[in-house]
Structure formats: structure tokens, C-alpha cells
Structure 1
Amino acid sequence: MRSGSARSGWSKRPRRRSRRAPEASPPMGASGEKVSARLILSDRAVRIPVLLVFVIMLGFGIVAPILPLYARSFGVGYDAASLLISTFAFARLVFDPVAGPVVDRYGERLCAVTGVVFVGASSFLAGLAGSFPLVVLFRGAGGLGSSLFFAALYSYLLKVVPRNRMGRTMSVFYGALNVGIIAGGPIGGVVAHVWGLRSPLFLYAGLCLLSGVLYLRFLPDPNSRREDESTTARGADSEPTGWRATRAQVFALLRNPSFITVLALNTAFFWVVAGGYDTLLPLFGKEGLGMSTVGIGGVFAVAVAAEFIVLYPAGSASDRIGRKPVLIPALTGLAVFMSAAGWAGSPLVLAGLMGLAGLASGSAASGPAAMLADVAPEGGSGTAVGLFRFFGDLGFVLGPLVGGAAAGAFGFKWAFALMAAPVLVAMVMVARTPETLRREAGERGTAAPLD
């Protein structure tokens, strides 16, 4: 879909639908026709990225529960242990704006493989580290690799997936991501129990290596870089090149009101996930309602199950009737139910509210990426993805900090309300933004084969 590289600036040619994919997608017909998840996965251009994200997030889930314990094994305090967790996210946040233009410049295949190998190598070295500062250093390096890998993978999907399938495709993608994280936790606990706290890091490194091999074997770049190079060479005297072109692309993106809405939407979504679900929910359950860890886990299970129920139907609806009709009620519900969580007087009420919030967040989950696909420019998908992920990671980092501070200063009721506030702002912005899903004459949503 995206022709041209970052070095050639914005393409002014009409958007082309000649997407290249490892296999021809089965014809879908009209945009309103129902398409099953099985049909989405029948296209290898989608199936392999979904498998890759599952494998990577399985490894992430394996490592996540043991990292605080691994940090404590070096004799450090709780604050230092939390530093190990935040280092990965902070490094990813810092590198996100760079990762996108790098993908535009060097291609999805090279960047994805480089990124995932970097994550694997850093995980392996963290397992071998003999001091805590080295563990922090290697974990931070892993965040850089993760940023590059996911920027490349998102950019690849934006290029090979027709826009009238993007909501459904991202629903399947996020489903695989969540299943990987959930499945990884128990595996990591067993592996650490049997072979020690370092062993999950080595297993994660092996899974990263496997992902790199799968990408090299099955996923070529979705467009010809040679054509882009020749185009760049011919237009070198008249168009900005290199990082000058990247700067021009960034400014052009930030002047697009629809893209600003996408950034606000992604920030708000990850803000409420990290700050509301991951931070305030367990704290409120334990300290506000006196729940056990098992009970808190049960509430999480209710929310996750509710998300999975609506994830694909919501993505399908956003492809058939538009992004706004799905996002506006979903964001409104998420804000209302998250705000109400702080008023829950019993574990049962909290579970019910989190179930409703899960339905809302599952309905909204694929919306930000689907809107991104609608507005990302020709030749600049990597740059758009880099900014998109930067603002999502910004919400992911700031949400827990603000939520925890608000709970300590004002109590859980105000803290949950504060988590919902950016969601309401994003909802208003979505409501004021014109529908981004465009119907093209004759568009069948079929990917052309990759030769």
C-alpha cells in the first residue's frame, strides 16, 4: 500500500491497493460481508505476524513475573526492583520516535529481525549478568530492540492488510498478544521453580531467536526497496532526503487533526490499561476491599474474558460500519465503568464493573490501530507507527505513576476518576473527527501475492 521510503518525502500519487503478501488472500467481497477470524488467518501475510506476536509475548509473559524476584536476588530493595521493570518501558518510550523512521529507511524485514535478535541477546546477557546494574543495562537494551521490532511489525501490517479488514485483523493480533502474555505467566513460574530465576530469561532469548528465524523464513519486505531507491536517486535534487524527510513527515503528521486524534486515543487507552487495570485494580482490591491475591486474579480473569468475547465482533463492526460508531460508545462505557470502580463496595460489585469495563475496552482495543491504518501516509507508515507507539507507551508509563500518586493523595475514588478522564477527552476528539474509514470503488480487500 505504501510506496516510497522516508527518504523520498510524501508521495503525492493516489493510494495504491497492490499490497504484496506471501499468499493471495481469499476474496472477501463487499466491505459489509462477514469475514471470520479463520479467513483472516488463512492469509499468511497475517498469520505469520500473529504467530510472531504470540511467541514474543509468550516470552514476555514468561519473564514478567520473575523479574522483581530476580532483582531482589541481587540484594536490592523494592525501589530498585521496580527500576528494573520501568527501565524496559522507558527505553522503549525513548526509542519509539526513532524506530519508526528507521523502519521507513531500512525496511520492515531487516528492522524486525534486528530488533527481535537485540531483545533476545539482551535477555540472554541479563541472565548471565553478575551484578544488578548490568541486569538493568541489558533490560534497557531489550526495550530498544522491542521498540524496533514492534514498529516494523505494525508497519508491515499497515502495508499488507486492506483497510476494510484492519479492525478484524488487529482484533486477532491483539488477541494473540494477550493470550501470549497470559499463557506465559504460569510457564515462567514453573520454569523458575525448576531451573532457577535466571532460566526464564534464557527461554525468552530462545523464543526471540525463533521469532527472528520465522520472520526471515516467511516474511519478505512488503514492497520493493529497489524501486524506492531509484525514485529517491532521481528526485534527490528536488526532495528532502534522510532525516530531513523524516522531520518533514513528522510535521505533516502532526498537522493532521485525524492523526492527532489517533495519538490521543492510543495514549488514553494505554493510560487506563496500565493505570486503571494494572495498578489501581489490585491495590484497591487488596487495600480497599480486603481481597486475596486469588480474588484479585479472579477479577482480572472476568475483565480479560469479557474483552475476548467482544474483541473480534467489535473489530468486524469497525470495518463494516466505521470506526466512530464503535469507538464512541466503547470509550464512553470504559470511562463510566472505570470511574465507578472506585465506588465498589464489595468484590462482587467490583468484578461486575470490571466485566463491563472489559467489554468496553475490548470493543475499543482495535480502534486506534485501525484508525492509524486509515490515516497513515504513503511511504511514511514507519514514522506514523513510531509516533503512535510513543504516545501509547507514554500513557503506559504515566498512567501508573499518576494513578498511584492520586490514590495516595486523594483516595481510590478520585484516582479511578482520574484514570477515566483522558478516555473521555479521547472520546470527544473521536466524536469531532470525521470518519476515517474510506470506501474505495471496487475495493475487495484482497492482497496480491508476494513473488
Structure 2
Amino acid sequence: MLLVCLLVASTQMTWGLVVPVLPVYADGLGASPAALGAAVAVFGVGRLLTNVPGGLLAQRLDRHRALLLSSVAVVAVLTLLTALVQTTPQLLVVRLLTGAAGGVAITVGQLVLSETAPARWDRTMSSLQAFQLAGGSVGPVVGGLTVAVDARLPFVVAGGLLLATVLVGCTRPLPAREVPTAAPAVPGEDRPRQRLWSRGLVAVCVVGLAVFLVRFGGMQYLAPVLAYEEAGMTPGQLGLVMGGVTVLGLVLLPVAAAVSRRAGRARVVPVAVLLLGASCLLLLGSQRPAQLVAAVVLVGVLTTAAGPAVGAALAEHAPPGRRGTAVGVYRTSGDVGTLVGPLLLGALVGAGRWEVAVVALGLVPVAAAVVFAVLGRGRRRAGGGGAAGTSDGGPPTAAPVVGVPAGKA
């Protein structure tokens, strides 16, 4: 598990790196503001294009280790190549390919962890999110410290660190698979194709879209705009608040995982997402710095706290034989929120309707909580190709791995 989390965190680090670096680097290439926006957007487009194909490929090849290591290695090489680009079109192409390789890496990493023992899903997803937060936090620091030396240096450092992580990964095994895959075919007997979609998977994907929309549209776009234009805060002050939110989230992740495991994901997810929506509405008082800080802290903490339960619910509702596809679909849903959120909220703010933007931001998770409460309470039945376990409270019961006696999985 540690290896997968480390690979994912290292990949996240290269993504966080560009936050302080890309504007400087693009300006050195003579890129226009529109081209800079395109450089950010094409990365997300690349992820959208490969989330589902990456999951399908992992599912069909059944070579998760090779696919995970190779996709992370490609991200590393492309990060190094970013330091060599000479024109804006070259930068756009490299960013698109980096997003595509990153989509495969994150999807396969989450797929591997979703195949560990169901009783550990909450703790496993909590660990994954902790590493992702750490990687996402380290990236801007590395970028900010190295870009002052040379605008190309951050990409060299990040690419080198990522390649070193891949080399370490080549000497370590991945976590053992502890949930059933598709049942083996019986000679002479036609096996029905497993159904991908279930009420629970739809509910998890809706929640994923809402959480990603709040994280990227709310925390990375709307909150900074309101902090600077309405509350009169400085970038340094907001940076301290954001850093504190990250640290607080890391501290609370084990608690969130324990609550999810004991209370049940079907109860924790809608409550956490409903509170997330309510916290977003606090941004309506952004003229008061204290209220804006409180809103940012609550939104950040609740976004993080919902992570383990949502990740475990995804593992629970994904059919074993089509788990890779399910993870890819979930990642795609989240990336849709990542792209739509800033565009929608940006359009509203640009029209002078920031209050409407805040209300819209709050209503999305509220609606997602209602959808999950209605659709996500049951679990996929064993005969329907789902993971064993219950979402209604208490830890799930691990189903035996195909070919392994119960109790020895």
C-alpha cells in the first residue's frame, strides 16, 4: 500500500508544482493569458481522455504493477521534457500528454487499493488521500523555491524525483489482491457480462463530481477571488490559511476513516457532503475576513473528511470484473467537476454575480447528498458482481478471493 500511495503522491507533486511555476514559465515563452489558461485546461482534458481507457486496460491486461510504474515513468519523462519546450504549442502538447499519462497513473493506483481487503477500505483510502494531500502540498513549495533560480529547474527536479520513485517501485511488490475478480468461466457455459452501472455507483460518481467541483471551483478559484476582492486579504494571508487547512485535513483523516468504518458509509457520505454544501454558503459573508476564513477552513476540512468514505463506497459498489472501468468512470466524473466548476463560477463572477456563484457552489453538494441518500444506501449484491460488504453500518465482510479459501484471503 505504501508504494502505491508514494507513486500517487509523487505524481500529485508534479501537478502541484505548476501552480506557482506555469505562469512564469509560460510568460518566458511569450504565451498570452489565453494560452496560459489553455495550458491549464489541456491537462484536465488529457485526464478526461484516459481515465476510463486506463481502467479498462488495467482490467483486461491484469498487469497493474507494470501499468502503474510505466504510466508514472511517462509522467516523469514528460515533466522533464517540459523543461525543454521552446514554444507555446509545444508546451500545450506536453501538458496534454502529461495529463493523459497522469490519468492512467491515478486510476490504476486507486484501482490497486480498491482491491485490498474490504475491511480496510476506509483506512486504505484515508492513507491514499493523506499522501495525495502531502504530494499536492509539496509540489507548490518545490516549484516556488526552484523557480527563483530558473524557470525550467522545477520540472527537472520534479521529473528526477518522480523517476527515483519509479526505480524504488521496481524493487517493491504491490499490495496483494484481496477481493474477488470476475468469477472464472466454466468450460462450455456462457457467462453473462457483468453490469457496470448500479444505483450505488451512480450515487458515488455524482458525489465525486460535486466534491471535485467544490475543491477546484470553490477552493482554488472562487475562494481566492473573494479573499482578494471582497475580504481584502493578501496572497500571503490566504496561503497561510490554505496551508493550515491542509495540515488540519491530514490530522483529521484518520478520524474520518474511523468514523466512516464505524458509522457506515451510507450515513457518513451524505451528512459530510450536505455539511460541505452548507459551509460553501458561508462564503456569502466574504466581506468579513473572519467569516471567509471560517468558510475556507470548513470547506477544506469537510472535503478532506469525505474522502475516505467516498473512496471506500466506490470500492464497494464497483463490480469485481469491471472494477477498472468503474474507477475510471469515477475519476472522469470528478474531472468533469474540475473543468466545469471554474468555468461556471468564473462566468458568474465575470458577470458581477459572485453571490449567485456562491449559492450555486453550495447547492451542488447539497443535491449530491440527496442523490447519495436515495441511491447509495444499498450495496451491490454478490450475484450482481459487486464487492462484498455493507454500506449501512459496520465494517464490510471480506468475500473470499477466487481460488483462495475463505479466511486465507
TM range (shorter): 0.7 to 0.9
Alignment equivalent of 2:113, drawn from 121, 139, 157: 157
Q: Which residue of 2 aligns with 1:147?
A: 103
Alignment equivalent of 2:298, drawn from 356, 372, 382: 356
Question: Displacement, 1:159?
Answer: 1.1
C-alpha distance in 1 between matches for 2:182 and 2:322: 15
Task: Write out the 4+ residue segments of structure 1 that deviate beyond 3 Å after TM superposition.
Answer: 220-224, 228-232, 234-240, 439-444, 446-449
Alignment equivalent of 2:138, drawn from 156, 164, 183: 183
Distance 1:168 1:441, change over 3 A: closer
Matches within 5 A, 1:219-234: 219-220=173-174, 222=176
C-alpha distance in 1 between matches for 2:398 and 2:373: 28
SS at match of 2:320: coil
* Corresponding letter in the other structure for 1:275: G
Alignment equivalent of 1:292, drawn from 234, 241, 253: 234
Question: Displacement, 1:164?
Answer: 2.1
Alignment equivalent of 2:160, drawn from 180, 190, 206: 206
Question: Displacement, 1:63?
Answer: 3.6
Question: Displacement, 1:180?
Answer: 1.5
Structure 2 unaligned residues grouped into runs of 5+: 380-388, 401-405
Contact 1:52-1:214 within 8 A present in 2 as well? no
C-alpha distance in 1 between matches for 2:354 and 2:183: 59
* Corresponding letter in the other structure for 1:149: A
Number of residue pairs the alignment of both structures matches: 388
Question: Displacement, 1:363?
Answer: 2.1
Q: Which residue of 2 aligns with 1:9?
A: none
Q: Which residue of 2 aligns with 1:136?
A: 92
C-alpha distance in 2 between matches for 1:308 and 1:172: 9
Q: Which residue of 2 aligns with 1:193?
A: 148
1:74 is aligned to 2:29: yes
Write the deviation string for residues 5-55 of structure 1: whole angstroms up to 9, x where unpaired. xxxxxxxxxxxxxxxxxxxxxxxxxxxxxxxxxxxxxxxxx2222222232
Contact 2:11-2:102 within 8 A present in 1 as well? no
SS at match of 1:289: coil
Distance 1:307 1:447, change over 3 A: farther
C-alpha distance in 2 between matches for 1:374 and 1:128: 43
Write the deviation string for residues 130-171 of structure 1: whole angstroms up to 9, x where unpaired. 2221111111111111111111111110112x2222112211
C-alpha distance in 2 between matches for 1:346 and 1:213: 50
* Corresponding letter in the other structure for 1:126: T
* Corresponding letter in the other structure for 2:169: Y
> Which stretch shows the higher mean deviation, 341-350 or 365-374?
341-350
C-alpha distance in 2 between matches for 1:306 and 1:202: 31
Contact 1:91-1:144 within 8 A present in 2 as well? yes
Question: Displacement, 1:399?
Answer: 0.7
C-alpha distance in 1 between matches for 2:157 and 2:356: 41
Matches within 5 A, 1:47-446: 47-106=2-61, 107-160=63-116, 162-194=117-149, 196-220=150-174, 222=176, 238=190, 252-254=195-197, 256-432=198-374, 433-436=376-379, 437-438=389-390
Distance 1:156 1:448, change over 3 A: farther
SS at match of 1:218: coil
C-alpha distance in 1 between matches for 2:177 and 2:240: 45
C-alpha distance in 2 between matches for 1:230 and 1:114: 28
TM-score using structure 1 length? 0.80
Question: Displacement, 1:442?
Answer: 8.1
Distance 1:388 1:175, change over 3 A: same
* Corresponding letter in the other structure for 1:385: V
C-alpha distance in 2 between matches for 1:229 and 1:61: 37
Write the deviation string for residues 225-259 of structure 1: whole angstroms up to 9, x where unpaired. xxx99957x7699458xxxxxxx65xx222x1111
Matches within 5 A, 1:20-59: 46-59=1-14
Contact 2:285-2:291 within 8 A present in 1 as well? no
SS at match of 2:170: helix
Write the deviation string for residues 330-362 of structure 1: whole angstroms up to 9, x where unpaired. 112111110121223311121122222233223
* Corresponding letter in the other structure for 2:151: L
Contact 1:302-1:351 within 8 A present in 2 as well? no
Write the deviation string for residues 51-85 of structure 1: whole angstroms up to 9, x where unpaired. 22232223333343211211111111111111111
SS at match of 1:128: coil
Contact 2:137-2:246 within 8 A present in 1 as well? no
Question: Displacement, 1:299?
Answer: 3.0
Contact 2:47-2:103 within 8 A present in 1 as well? yes
> Which stretch shows the higher mean deviation, 369-378 or 183-192?
183-192
Q: Which residue of 2 aligns with 1:43?
A: none
Residue identity over aligned pairs, in percent, reads 25
